[in-house]
Structure 1
């Protein structure tokens, strides 16, 4: 377990600024998504609503993380003094338990699959994501390397399943999407995989013997960057996909509703 007393004053302040930046990004993204939601067709507004909900939940938890960080230690006499309250790392896992399944659901919703496929994929991917988070938490708070290693291995099982589904399982469904969003949806799936790759890597640091103030900086900064990419950037990508699909469908509807120019000739009266 990483100890706060090993932090220098600069490291302590830097992590506080990282949390503040995370809060600002999540809050501003939430406002943008919800205020601009009406720009998309009604079919895709649920996906945008969930995207904003994800960043709103994250913003709340980053506020709590900041408050816990400020309460866990303070700067006095030129050094970081631990208060004894402890830094609550559970806030991240509560956040991930709520937001990670929703991330996958918003991707499924914006693809506008059949009701049966939407429900099936949402349950399977959302359930696997929740299981991944639940299995990761005991190792995060464990005081010994062995326990951390065991739960890292266990949490990687649903993680690998999710990666497989995003990279391979959705390939056929993505191929059926409009041409103007196929690439974006593929990039959204890749973004999820790439940003989530931060978590198991950062999780491994204590197993590799990386400790001290530098380790705390890497862990908290790495988690925050991964959160921003997986929630805020991903949410904005979902918004762009929804807008493009809305525009494409509006164009199709306009063509279908337009009066036929080649109307049958009007018969003249006798």
Structure 2
């Protein structure tokens, strides 16, 4: 583990804390808001809750591992404690949550059952390949240049990554063309959010390719992945809720009111 300044250690520490809070309280919102959408869209909010719940658990483990991996040295900097930092929690998290992110989006799009099943099967397989191929490059500690083993594994991981984005971008485009008003705008926005958030992960993965080394690369990767996760899970879930709410209104769903006797 690289030596970190007080500011570098606490930047990662606070970002991990922020991610935990974002995951937990967005999950609370999804649970409380599920009855505000039509029954056929509630499964998307249930899946959103699972996504942020799984992420919150793994971020707690990452947070604890980060805290245990460093101690304050004599100069006031943070030095390795001798306990390894287990960043594999991120990949375990992605292995579970990325397929669920695909599920919640495809469910809220309202595709025909047969088409939905075929698309989900292909995209879930592609998501597993994307994550499994990316992990070997992440744990390489030697040469991390673009033409190193990290670069090779990153390239292999990019193939299913591009396939997923291509399929979702096209299918969302078709869905948008069949929607109007607020729902169409929200679907267009989530397509842009999908491109921005998912596109941020490979940029963080490539941080060492740009000459960032040692503590700078470590901090950039931890902060970058945490920020991307908050947007891609909690923020994405809020967009899913907004789409489900808008589609429910378009289909005439009214929120039930409890009438009490006086």
Same structural fold, with TM-score higher than 0.5 when normalized by the shorter chain: yes
TM-superposition CA deviations, 1:150-175 (whole Å, max 9, x none) = 10000000111111112224322332
Kindly indicate whether residue 193 of structure 2 is the aligned counterpart of residue 191 of structure 1: yes
SS of 2:106 mapped into structure 1: helix
Match of 1:167 in 2: 169
User: Residue 77 of structure 2 corresponds to which residue in structure 1?
Assistant: 79
Partners of 2:245 and 2:186 lie apart in 1 by: 12
Q: Which moved more, 1:15-24 or 1:119-128?
A: 119-128
1:134 aligned partner: 132
Deviation at 1:131, TM superposition (A): 1.1
SS in 1 for 2:104: helix
Give the match for residue 205 of structure 1: 207
Bigger radius of gyration: 1
- State yes or no: 1:53 paired with 2:50: yes
In the alignment, which residue of structure 2 is the partner of 1:118? 116
Q: Report whether the alignment pairs 1:70 with 2:61.
A: no
Counterpart in the other structure of 1:249: 251
Aligned to 2:152, which of 142, 150, 153? 150
- 1:128 to partner: Cα distance: 1.1
Report if the CA contact (8 A) 1:105-1:122 is conserved: yes
Deviations 1:113-157 (A, max 9, x none): 111111111111222112111110000001233110110000000
Residue from 19, 23, 30 that aligns with 1:22: 19
Residue 255 of structure 1: aligned partner: none
Q: For residue 96 of structure 1, what is the aligned residue in structure 2?
A: 94
Q: Contact between 1:148 and 1:207, CA under 8 Å: does it hold in 2?
A: no
Q: Which runs of 5+ in 1 are unaligned?
A: 253-270
Hey, what does 2:107 align to over in structure 1?
A: 109
CA-to-aligned-CA distance 1:81-124 (integer Å, 9 cap, x gap) = 21121111101001111111111111100011111111111111
Aligned length: 249
What is the CA–CA distance in structure 2 between the aligned matches of 1:170 and 1:235, rounded to whole Å?
A: 16
CA–CA separation in structure 1 for the residues paired with 2:85 and 2:253: 53
Alignment counterpart, residue 44 of structure 1, candidates 33, 38, 41: 41
Query: SS of the residue aligned with 2:155?
Result: helix
Paired with 1:249 and 1:191, the residues of 2 have a C-alpha distance of 25
1:178–1:245 Cα contact (<8 Å) kept = no
Contact 1:4 1:73 in 2 (8 A): no
Unaligned runs of 5+ in 2: 255-262
